[in-house]
A and B are shown apart, each in its own frame.
Chain A
Amino acid sequence: MNLLRHARYVLSENPVTGLAFGLFAMFLVAAIFGPLLAPYNPLQSNAAMALKAPSAAHWFGTDQLGRDIFSRVLVATRLDLAIAFASVILAFMLGALSGVAAGYFGGWTDRVVGRLADTIMAFPLFVLAMGIVAALGNKVVNIVIATAIINFPLYARVARAEANVRREAGFVEAARLSGNGEARVLLGHVLPNIMPIMMVQMSLTMGYAILNAAGLSFIGLGVRPPDAEWGIMVAEGANFIQSGEWWIALFPGAALMLAVFCFNLLGDGLRDIIDPRQRT
């Protein structure tokens, strides 16, 4: 397939993208098989082994309750990726649908969606997320909703622009002329056509979604102890930085950085494959 050949070309030109794909695969494995691969039970406390530095027995050391940090970091992959992924999908569904409708129909739809997006953008995004989680309740599902809401304007804007361009396109005309109703044209023809660009947006915002979720849990929103999640682990480790037990915060933080870095590179690589014109 042409796309595959083009993808191979981009990967050969840009080994860093290949690295990103490799990292992504690693994270995927950790997310899916994490609990099976963890050497220790991530929830098991062991007071005798508390606050031990990294060693052969505990690669990332132990935390204040004696839990193995490596196991916790590994298992946390699933939760962090799941939260980010869910919020990105939700943002996409809300944003792409409204954006496409706004770009395609124009008029009132356009104005309403635009006003909604502008109102969201009038807030500093992280602050709005804080407010939403505070209002809806301190649960993980609300982290997903809050992150999705603050990403909504971006998806709506991109989808709107793309739908606008395609409104008069040949294949859309053809679909209309074959008797499809407007809704079917929109969902069955326009939306699938913009999927590649949407996928680029999704991978580009995955990194941001991970950061956002981790930030919220760092300040105590969403995930509660004893659940293993990178943000909350860094928060727990923060208390011990001043007494020198650096490993409790470092490893989850490094995992976080690596994940965000991986998704950013992935997004850039996907964009180069699908739409090189957007490169800066």
Chain B
Amino acid sequence: MLKLFLSRLATAVPSIVGVVVVTFMLTRLLPGDPAAYFAGLAASPQAIAEIRTKLGLDKSLPEQFAAYLVDLAQGNLGNSLSTGQPVVTEIATRLPASAELTLFALILAVGIAIPLGVLAAVKQGTWIDHLCRIVTTAGVSLPVFFTGLLFAYVFYYLLQWAPAPSGRLDVFLSPPDHITGFYLIDSALSGNLEVFWGALRQLALPAISMAIFSLAPLARMTRGSMLSVLGSDFIRTARASGLAPGTVVFTYAFRNAVLPVITVLGMVFSFLLGANVLVETVFAWPGIGLYAVNALITSDYAPVQGFVLTMAVLYVALNLAIDLLYGLVDPRVRLDS
């Protein structure tokens, strides 16, 4: 298993290199004078010149790249124009909010999609199968920001079941003591039921909007994979040996069927991280997505670059975790490598 981890880590390195190079290029592809962009729209020519020397934008490209690498190694992602704060601290503060939202949405999506796909495959032709078919066809067409808005309208404005989309907690509640930054976990750990429930209520609509978006590919892959596995030779052997139906479907079929689903998780995460930005915008969720969108509107470039870099690094790490998960389930990958 360690060998697998090391070999996958080795393939992650070129990805990280690529990510760093691309984000560097993005900061230099700015039309016109990059210094003007980093100085801000209202800057005087003198301020622009100062920024140019300060950020080293007058040096040659290789020198700039070296300086960029040094900055990254020191955790320096520049400063936000609007707040003056270091981008890296602002991102670090907001990251738990995005992470909690995305993870919760993923757990929801997986919790619905996989059972749905399994049932649809085992009970082909029944209403569950048709429901699954509808979910997978319709799900891929739904723009996540639109479903988020629809949910906000129906469940908050019309039905008043959900709280106002105003962030992670109602104004009257204060956040739990910081342990992980995840409000659900922190409030559970400190036994604060009121805050736990409050955080859950705020999390519900945005998480469901995101989950719906990723349901479709997961359910489709689960169903397809289950169907394929259920028709395979070793399942025939399992049935011929008289194994109990539960054993056949879960211990034998499902574990094999889940492998392509794990592979597709990578693509699902790519969509989820993108959907994260849109959902945070709709629900005013104080995560790094909203941070980047606000920076974009105010033409504040350093936060946007920091955001892209952070998301990309996160994504590479997530893909590594997915590869390892796959290796845990499939011994062929573990033992062959």
Do A and B touch directly, given a CB cutoff of 8 Å in the complex?
yes
Using a CB–CB cutoff of 8 Å, the interface residues on chain A facing chain B are: 115, 118-119, 121-128, 130-132, 134-137, 207, 211, 214-215, 218-221, 234, 237-238, 241-242, 244, 246, 249-250, 253, 256-257, 260-261, 264-265, 280
How distant is the Cα of A242 from the Cα of B312 in the complex, in angstroms?
34
A-contacting 9-mer, from B47-55, B139-147, B183-191, B325-333: B139-147
Please report the total number of B residues contacting A with Cβ < 8 Å.
56
Are A280 and B224 in contact (CB-based, < 8 A)? yes
Indicate which residue in A128, A131, A257 contacts B141 across the interface (CB closer than 8 Å): A257
18 A-B pairs, CB-CB below 8 angstroms?
A121-B270, A122-B312, A123-B19, A124-B312, A126-B271, A126-B273, A130-B296, A131-B26, A134-B26, A207-B141, A214-B145, A215-B144, A234-B145, A238-B149, A238-B282, A253-B150, A257-B146, A260-B140
- Shortest 3 CB-CB contacts between residues of A and residues of B: A126-B274, A119-B18, A124-B273
What is the chain A residue whose CB lies nearest that of B303?
A134
Collect the chain B residues with CB atoms within 8 Å of residue A119's CB: 15, 18-19, 21-22
**Closest A residue by C-beta to B316:** A122
Give B1-56 interface residues, CB cut-off 8 Å to A.
Answer: 14-16, 18-19, 21-23, 26-27, 29-31
A233 to B275, CA, bound (A): 18
Chain A residues closer than 8 Å to B145, beta-carbon distance:
214-215, 218, 234, 238
Quick one: closest A residue to B223, CB to CB?
Answer: A280
Given contacts A135-B26, A214-B143, contact A127 B308 (CB under 8 A): yes
B163 to chain A, nearest CB (A): 12
CB distance B274 to A219 under 8 Å?
no
Assess the A122–B146 pair: CB atoms within 8 A.
no
Question: Given B150, B220, B270, which contacts A125 in the complex, CB threshold below 8 Å?
Answer: B270
Cβ 8 A contact of A242, one of B157, B278, B307: B157
Residues of chain B within 8 A (CB-CB) of A125 are 270-271, 274
- The B109-133 residues at the A interface (CB cut-off 8 A) are none
User: How long is the Cα–Cα vector from A244 to B152 in the complex, in angstroms?
Assistant: 11
User: B23's contact among A131, A261, A265, by CB below 8 Å, is which?
Assistant: A131
- A261 CA to B281 CA in the complex, in Å? 24
Q: Is the CB of A257 within 8 A of B26?
A: no
Q: Which residues of B pack against A, CB within 8 Å?
A: 14-16, 18-19, 21-23, 26-27, 29-31, 137-138, 140-146, 149-150, 152-153, 156-157, 164-165, 220, 224, 269-275, 277-278, 281-282, 292-293, 296-297, 301, 304-305, 307-308, 311-312, 315-316
Instruction: Chain A residues near B292: list those with CB within 8 A.
Output: 130
| A118–B150 touching, CB < 8 Å | no
Query: Which of A135, A220, A257, A261 touches B293 (beta carbons < 8 Å)?
Result: A220
- Give complex CA distance A253, B209 in Å: 15
Establish whether residues B315 and A124, one from each chain, have CB atoms under 8 Å apart when the complex forms.
Answer: yes
A264–B140 touching, CB < 8 Å: yes
- Closest CB in chain B relative to A124 CB, distance in Å: 4
User: In the complex, what's the smallest C-beta–C-beta distance from B103 to chain A, in angstroms?
Assistant: 15
Q: Flag if A127 contacts B19 (CB, 8 Å).
A: no
- Which residue of chain B has the shortest Cβ distance to A210 in the bound complex? B143
- Distance between A248 CB and nearest chain B CB, rounded to angstroms: 10
**Closest beta carbon of chain B to A172's beta carbon, Å:** 32
Query: Is the CB–CB distance between A132 and B311 below 8 Å?
Result: no
Q: Do A249 and B149 have beta carbons less than 8 Å apart?
A: yes
Q: Which residues of the other chain, B, contact A207 by a CB distance below 8 angstroms?
A: 140-141
Q: Is the CB of A253 within 8 A of B146?
A: yes
Q: Which residues of B contact A246 (CB under 8 A)?
A: 153
Given contacts A124-B270, A137-B31, A242-B157, contact A256 B146 (CB under 8 A): yes
Which chain A residues border B153 with CB–CB below 8 Å?
241, 246, 249
Q: How far is A246 from B151 in the complex, measured between Cα atoms in Å? A: 12
Q: Is A242's CB under 8 angstroms from B23's CB?
A: no
Taking CB atoms, residues of chain A closer than 8 Å to B316 are 122
Q: Which residues of B contact A238 (CB under 8 A)?
A: 145, 149, 282
- Which residues does chain A contribute within 8 Å of B143, judged by CB atoms? 211, 214-215, 234, 253, 256-257, 260
Complex CA–CA separation, A218 to B281 (angstroms) = 9
CB distance from B223 to the nearest CB of A (A): 9
In the complex, the answer to whether A134 meets B296 with C-beta atoms within 8 Å is yes
Which of B141, B157, B296 is close to A221, meaning CB atoms less than 8 Å apart?
B296
Nearest-Cβ distance from residue B15 to partner chain A, whole angstroms: 4
Whether B15 lies near A244 (C-beta < 8 A) is: no
Does the CB pair B304–A134 fall under 8 Å? yes
Contact A219 B141 (CB under 8 A): no
Question: A118-B15, A207-B140, A218-B278 are known contacts. Are A127 and B311 too (CB-CB below 8 A)?
Answer: yes
B16 contact set on A, CB distance < 8 A? 122
Report if A128-B220 is in contact (Cβ < 8 Å); known contacts: A238-B149, A256-B146, A264-B140.
no
With A218-B145, A264-B141 as given contacts, are A244 and B31 in contact (CB-CB < 8 Å)? no
Inter-chain contact B277/A219, CB cutoff 8 Å: yes
Do residues A253 and B149 form an inter-chain contact, with CB atoms below 8 A? yes
